[in-house]
């Protein structure tokens, strides 16, 4: 292939990308964004070219994008309600943005935007825009600033045009005779000047006055508001305010005597004292005045209660109005779709929710009853009530957990210090430190940069690429302790890799890369202890003595063969199921733009990399020097904060729902042991199986299958909790170390047969902009993943036996 023909478009592309990068970094709208967010945003901007005179958007159309001018000049044109040609209200140059109004309000486009010459825009679609505004308050602020400036400019335009009208009115008045001018000025006390009123006020001169008014822009007896206010100002200047008021009183008198009620009342509304207006309104109604319904409504609403009560006619009018309003009370505007949704939600949720709340109340009542005779029974009943509430998902998780603590103490199941002991445990401190450091790492941009560098250095073959993404997901486990957060970081870079090779959306190649990245980032979370809060949760639930040997290193040693088997098996399954083709020459323009927006490696990134290395080393060698890993974790949090990589906001943004719940979970095992519940469970199982010797592998398989079933009912954390509570005491009966229960549950609980089953899957799907794989493709892979994992568990048994865990 001709090298130049490949390179030239790339170079052109690169040049454009560079300019786009400068533009984004300088654009006012994005001025509040940090460089990491900006670099992520860059992947979502599509350049669109325009020729002179072409429209980027048309007034009145529905809007679905925001635009940023990257080349050329664009004019904003607004068309009025009349047939006059559109007015050019603004000009947008490089860095300017438009199209935000329709996106924010849902109204049609407020203006037409045309290219003055050849130009280019960067287009951001509605979904990304909304996401950005939601995530970043700075964008909202920048948008309000831009809208306020536009409103200010529009107000100035209105003021300018009022000046112009005033000048024109005064010139026209100057051209009139003194008498004509006086008559025209007098008319300004009226909002409308119909022929009848003019005849009443000016007699035979009425027709002449009407002609003069038409010259001034009066149309069918109505004046433009700006002309009336110019005339009123001139009237006051020429005759003085007192004379204007006296003339207005005279006008009201004349018009009401001639039964021109509507005009009389309109003048009275502006110029007469309130009580005079109220009296006149009553007179008019009694006289059976023909008033427009708009005016009647307006005036009746304008009256106070006392004013209405002062005259029986007005009181009757108000009553009639109120009754009419009640009868015609418009139903709140709800779209048909919304109604349908509300209805189906009611059907789906209400009965279920009522039943679950009622059931859990029954369990709590039973627990209260049982607490006098048997504390363990009360404990189990409370837990059952909590599980029902978790399944129904009516309240946030932490509420149910905290409710448990309160109930334990009230029912005398645990002392207050025992019920909240988990919060003071080193496990809780460790997970807190891991979450905080994970946030600081993500915010520093280090992880995103590594992801982009990976795209730059991706191997050629697709299998190697899939393996690279899966491995990156796994390695990220060391840096980012939450699978959803890893998916969010990794999938956009996988998408960038797919785009740079021009893979079609949801093609087998694209799905292969995307799902490899997802499996590395999500389901393999058990590879490293700090890969997920669930790992800590599981570990926290096994007895203290059994837990001691599982530091970061031993956990990895024990989990590695299973993880390796599942990784290789999943890649093979992906290949077999998706049957991808081959790769093509990649273009790195987009990634280069993102890297250039990230800029040079910052101090924060370097500091965070160092802290991370120190943390991992500290975790592993600290204990041999008598330093607790939790304290190493806290030291790293302090270091990150002192270095300015972790601020109060990042701390507030931690997953406190989980942290609060986790504190309660950690309090559970000692309480259960004190109550003798775990001993009772294991005795019961021992009793049931009697002397039959069951193979440990059967126990492991049963655990896995039980877990897969439970995951269709309960969220991840609660599945681990429930199964660990029930199965950990049983494990010794089968000569299995409790950790094996934990790893089995962890290895089989990230399922995505139903998309909503796993948060990390949903995040992966969305972070790949729904472009890398379909749910259909993913579901097939999920079944294969389950089989591979089950086989992996069996294959790992001899190794675990060798480690002394079976
Ligand atoms: P939108 O209504 O979505 O589509 C047309 C866009 O033109 C609008 O958003 C604004 O971004 C822009 N626009 C409308 N009126 C003005 C104005 N007076 N000055 C500057 N820009 C405007």
**107 CA: nearest ligand 1 atom:** 2
- CB within 8 A of 214, min separation 6: which ones? none
pLDDT(2) > 70? no
pLDDT of amino acid 153: 80
CA–CA dist 202, 267 (Å, integer): 16
pLDDT(530) > 50? yes
How far is the centre of ligand 1, averaged over its atoms, from the C-alpha of 128 (Å)?
19
pLDDT of amino acid 343: 45
**109 CA: nearest ligand 1 atom:** 2
Summarize the confidence of residues 141-151 as an average pLDDT: 81
Predicted confidence band at 344 (pLDDT cuts at 50, 70, 90)? very low
pLDDT(622) > 70? yes
Predicted confidence band at 390 (pLDDT cuts at 50, 70, 90)? confident
pLDDT of amino acid 326: 63
How far is the centre of ligand 1, averaged over its atoms, from the C-alpha of 323 (Å)?
43
CA–CA dist 455, 540 (Å, integer): 37
Establish whether residue 89 lines the binding site of ligand 1, counting it when its CB lies within 6 angstroms of any ligand atom: yes
The least confident of 138-147, 367-376, 623-632 is: 138-147
How far is the centre of ligand 1, averaged over its atoms, from the C-alpha of 21 (Å)?
24
CA–CA dist 174, 403 (Å, integer): 83
Establish whether residue 67 lines the binding site of ligand 1, counting it when its CB lies within 6 angstroms of any ligand atom: no
How far is the centre of ligand 1, averaged over its atoms, from the C-alpha of 127 (Å)?
19
pLDDT(338) > 60? no
The region, left, alpha or beta by phi > 0 then psi within -120 to 50, assigned to residue 151 is alpha
- Choose which residue among 66, 73, 76, 79 to substitute to test ligand 1 binding: the one with the highest number of ligand atoms within 8 A of its C-beta: 76
- Choose which residue among 88, 91, 108, 111 to substitute to test ligand 1 binding: the one with the highest number of ligand atoms within 8 A of its C-beta: 111
How far is the centre of ligand 1, averaged over its atoms, from the C-alpha of 329 (Å)?
35
Q: Are strands 112-115 and 55-57 parallel, antiparallel or unpaired?
A: antiparallel
- Whether the model pTM is above 0.75: no
pLDDT of amino acid 116: 94
Establish whether residue 57 lines the binding site of ligand 1, counting it when its CB lies within 6 angstroms of any ligand atom: yes
Strands (E), 8-111: 46-50, 55-57, 65-71, 74-78, 87-92, 97-98
pLDDT(334) > 70? no
Establish whether residue 56 lines the binding site of ligand 1, counting it when its CB lies within 6 angstroms of any ligand atom: no
Half-sphere exposure of 160 (CA within 13 A, CB side): 7
pLDDT(738) > 90? yes
Average pLDDT score over the chain? 85
Among residues of the chain, what percentage have pLDDT more than 90? 34
Establish whether residue 132 lines the binding site of ligand 1, counting it when its CB lies within 6 angstroms of any ligand atom: no
Among residues of the chain, what percentage have pLDDT more than 70? 93
Summarize the confidence of residues 364-381 as an average pLDDT: 95
Tell me the pLDDT tens digit for each residue of 37-85.
788 777 778 889 999 999 999 999 999 999 999 889 999 998 876 666 7
pLDDT of amino acid 328: 56
CA–CA dist 796, 576 (Å, integer): 23
pLDDT of amino acid 13: 66
Establish whether residue 663 lines the binding site of ligand 1, counting it when its CB lies within 6 angstroms of any ligand atom: no
pLDDT of amino acid 336: 52
pLDDT of amino acid 117: 93
Alpha helices in 584-655 (DSSP H): 589-598, 603-621, 629-642, 648-652
**150 CA: nearest ligand 1 atom:** 19
pLDDT(793) > 50? yes
pLDDT of amino acid 572: 97
Predicted confidence band at 604 (pLDDT cuts at 50, 70, 90)? very high
Establish whether residue 110 lines the binding site of ligand 1, counting it when its CB lies within 6 angstroms of any ligand atom: yes
Tell me the pLDDT tens digit for each residue of 222-274.
777 778 888 888 898 889 988 999 999 999 999 999 989 988 999 999 889 99
Summarize the confidence of residues 618-647 as an average pLDDT: 89
Q: Are 443 and 650 in contact (CB under 8 A)?
A: yes
DSSP string covering 690-733: TT----HHHHHHHHHHHHHHHTTTS-HHHHHHHHHHHHTTTGGG
Establish whether residue 29 lines the binding site of ligand 1, counting it when its CB lies within 6 angstroms of any ligand atom: no
Establish whether residue 101 lines the binding site of ligand 1, counting it when its CB lies within 6 angstroms of any ligand atom: yes
Establish whether residue 102 lines the binding site of ligand 1, counting it when its CB lies within 6 angstroms of any ligand atom: yes
Q: Are 556 and 529 in contact (CB under 8 A)?
A: yes
pLDDT(331) > 50? no
Tell me the pLDDT tens digit for each residue of 641-697.
999 999 998 899 887 887 898 889 888 888 988 998 888 888 888 888 776 677 889
Q: Are 431 and 530 in contact (CB under 8 A)?
A: no
Establish whether residue 646 lines the binding site of ligand 1, counting it when its CB lies within 6 angstroms of any ligand atom: no
- Choose which residue among 65, 80, 97, 101 to substitute to test ligand 1 binding: the one with the highest number of ligand atoms within 8 A of its C-beta: 101
pLDDT(479) > 90? no
Summarize the confidence of residues 392-397 as an average pLDDT: 78
Tell me the pLDDT tens digit for each residue of 500-519.
788 888 999 999 999 999 99
Establish whether residue 529 lines the binding site of ligand 1, counting it when its CB lies within 6 angstroms of any ligand atom: no
How far is the centre of ligand 1, averaged over its atoms, from the C-alpha of 97 (Å)?
9
Predicted confidence band at 191 (pLDDT cuts at 50, 70, 90)? confident
**108 CA: nearest ligand 1 atom:** 2
pLDDT(439) > 60? yes
Summarize the confidence of residues 113-124 as an average pLDDT: 92
pLDDT(31) > 80? no
């Amino acid at each position: 292939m001709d090298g130049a023909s490949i390179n030239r478009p790339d170079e052109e592309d690169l040049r454009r990308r560079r300019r786009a990068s400068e533009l984004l970094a300088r654009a006012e709208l994005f001025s509040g964004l940090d460089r990491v967010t900006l670099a992520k945003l860059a992947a979502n901007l599509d350049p669109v070219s325009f020729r002179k005179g072409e429209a980027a958007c048309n007034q009145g159309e529905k809007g679905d994008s925001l635009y940023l001018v990257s080349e050329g000049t664009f004019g904003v044109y607004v068309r009025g309600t009349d047939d006059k040609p559109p007015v050019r209200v603004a000009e947008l140059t490089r860095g300017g943005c438009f199209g935000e109004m329709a996106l924010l309000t849902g109204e049609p486009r407020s203006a037409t935007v045309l290219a003055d010459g050849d130009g280019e825009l960067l287009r951001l679609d509605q979904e990304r825009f909304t996401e950005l505004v939601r995530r970043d308050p700075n964008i909202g602020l920048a948008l309000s600033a831009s809208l306020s400036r536009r409103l200010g400019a529009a107000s100035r335009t209105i003021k300018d045009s009022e000046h112009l009208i005033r000048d024109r009115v005064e010139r026209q008045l100057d051209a009139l005779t003194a008498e004509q001018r006086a008559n025209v000025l007098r008319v300004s006390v009226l909002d409308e000047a119909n022929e009848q009123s003019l005849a009443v006020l000016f007699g035979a001169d009425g027709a002449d006055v009407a002609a003069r008014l038409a010259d001034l822009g009066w149309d069918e007896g109505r004046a433009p508001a700006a002309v009336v206010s110019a005339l009123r100002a001139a009237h006051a200047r020429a005759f003085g305010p007192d004379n204007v008021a006296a003339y207005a009183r005279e006008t009201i008198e004349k018009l009401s005597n001639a039964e021109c009620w509507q005009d009389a009342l309109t003048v009275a509304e502006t110029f007469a004292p309130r009580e005079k207006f109220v009296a006149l309104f009553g007179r008019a109604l009694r006289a059976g005045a023909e008033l427009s319904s708009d005016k009647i409504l307006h005036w009746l609403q304008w009256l106070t209660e006392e004013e209405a009560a002062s005259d029986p006619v007005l009181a009757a009018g108000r009553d009639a109005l109120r009754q009419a309003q009640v009868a015609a009370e418009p139903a709140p505007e709800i779209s048909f779709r919304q109604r349908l949704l509300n209805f189906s939600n009611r059907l789906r949720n209400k009965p279920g929710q009522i039943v679950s709340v009622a059931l859990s109340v029954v369990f709590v009542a039973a627990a209260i009853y049982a607490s006098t005779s048997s504390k363990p029974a009360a404990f189990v009943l409370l837990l059952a009530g909590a599980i029902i509430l978790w399944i129904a998902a009516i309240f946030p998780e932490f509420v149910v957990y905290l409710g448990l603590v309160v109930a334990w103490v009230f029912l005398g199941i645990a002392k207050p210090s025992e019920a909240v002991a988990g919060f003071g445990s080193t496990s809780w401190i460790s997970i807190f430190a891991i979450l905080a450091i994970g946030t600081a790492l993500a915010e520093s941009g280090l992880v995103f940069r590594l992801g982009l560098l990976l795209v730059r250095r991706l191997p050629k073959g697709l299998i190697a690429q899939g393996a690279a993404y899966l491995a990156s997901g796994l390695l990220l486990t060391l840096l980012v302790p939450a699978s959803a957060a890893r998916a969010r970081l990794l999938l956009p870079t996988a998408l960038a890799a797919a785009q740079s090779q021009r893979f079609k959306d949801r093609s087998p190649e694209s799905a292969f890369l995307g799902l490899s990245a997802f499996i590395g980032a999500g389901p393999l979370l058990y590879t490293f202890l700090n890969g997920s809060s669930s790992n800590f949760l599981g570990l926290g639930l096994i007895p203290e003595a059994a837990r001691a040997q599982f530091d970061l290193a031993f956990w990895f040693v024990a989990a590695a063969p299973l993880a390796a088997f599942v990784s290789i098996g999943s890649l093979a399954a992906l290949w077999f199921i998706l049957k991808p083709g081959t790769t093509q020459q990649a273009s790195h323009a987009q990634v280069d733009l993102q890297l250039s927006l990230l800029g040079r490696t910052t101090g924060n990134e370097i500091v965070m990399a160092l802290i991370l290395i120190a943390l991992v080393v500290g975790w592993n060698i600290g204990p041999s020097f008598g330093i607790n890993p939790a304290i190493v974790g806290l030291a790293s949090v302090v270091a990150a904060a002192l270095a300015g990589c972790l601020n109060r906001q990042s701390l507030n943004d931690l997953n406190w729902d989980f942290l609060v719940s986790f504190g309660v979970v950690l309090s559970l095992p000692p309480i259960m042991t004190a109550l003798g519940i775990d001993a009772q469970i294991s005795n019961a199982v021992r009793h049931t199986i009697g002397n039959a010797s069951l193979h440990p592998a059967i126990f492991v398989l049963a655990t896995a299958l039980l877990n897969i079933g439970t995951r269709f009912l309960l969220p991840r954390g609660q599945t681990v909790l429930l199964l660990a509570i029930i199965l950990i005491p049983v494990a010794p009966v089968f000569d299995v170390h409790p950790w094996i229960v934990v790893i089995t549950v962890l290895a089989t609980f990230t399922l995505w047969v139903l998309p909503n089953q796993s948060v990390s899957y949903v995040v992966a799907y969305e972070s790949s902009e729904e472009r890398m794989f379909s749910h259909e493709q993913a579901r097939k892979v999920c079944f294969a993943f389950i089989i591979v994992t089950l086989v992996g568990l069996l294959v790992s048994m001899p190794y675990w036996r060798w480690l002394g865990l079976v």
